[in-house]
């Protein structure tokens, strides 16, 4: 048999804390510069979407979900308007330019 948990309201009082002094908190690591991806076009075929993507350091190339593009970024999703790329920690969404 399971009994409901009984709590004493006095035991739930918040413990006051003081904020750390300025300059004592460790700074988070600065994010590495993420590559820029240009989504030039998308095409829907029988196997899903393919896309033409260009990075600042490469010529345009055709990619599909699962392909690695640059700096460890892998294509994780494609649809008619965007490509989602991730390196496992950071995610970039490249959108097609509006006409």
Q: What predicted TM-score, i.e. pTM, was given to this entire model?
A: 0.64
**CATH match for 34-99 among 1.20.120.420, 3.40.50.1390, 1.20.1630.10, 2.30.30.830:** 2.30.30.830
Rounded-to-integer distance, Cα 50 and Cα 42, Å: 6
What is the per-residue pLDDT across 53-65, written as a single tens digit (0 to 9) for each?
A: 998 888 999 999 9
- The more confident residue out of 71 and 16 is 71
Residue 32 has pLDDT above 70, yes or no: no
- Model confidence at 71, pLDDT cuts 50, 70, 90, reads confident
Give the model's pLDDT for residue 30: 47
Look up tokens 């300059």; give the residue.
23
Residues 79-83: what's their mean pLDDT? 93
């Amino acid at each position: 048999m399971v009994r409901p948990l009984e709590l004493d309201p006095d035991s739930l009082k918040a413990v006051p804390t003081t904020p750390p002094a300025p300059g004592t908190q460790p700074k988070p690591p600065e994010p590495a510069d993420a590559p820029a991806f240009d989504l030039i076009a998308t095409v829907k075929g029988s196997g899903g979407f393919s896309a033409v993507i260009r990075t600042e350091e490469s010529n345009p190339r055709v990619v599909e979900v699962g392909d690695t593009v640059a700096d460890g970024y892998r294509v994780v999703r494609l649809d008619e308007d965007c490509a989602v790329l991730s390196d496992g920690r950071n995610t970039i969404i490249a959108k097609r330019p509006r006409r």
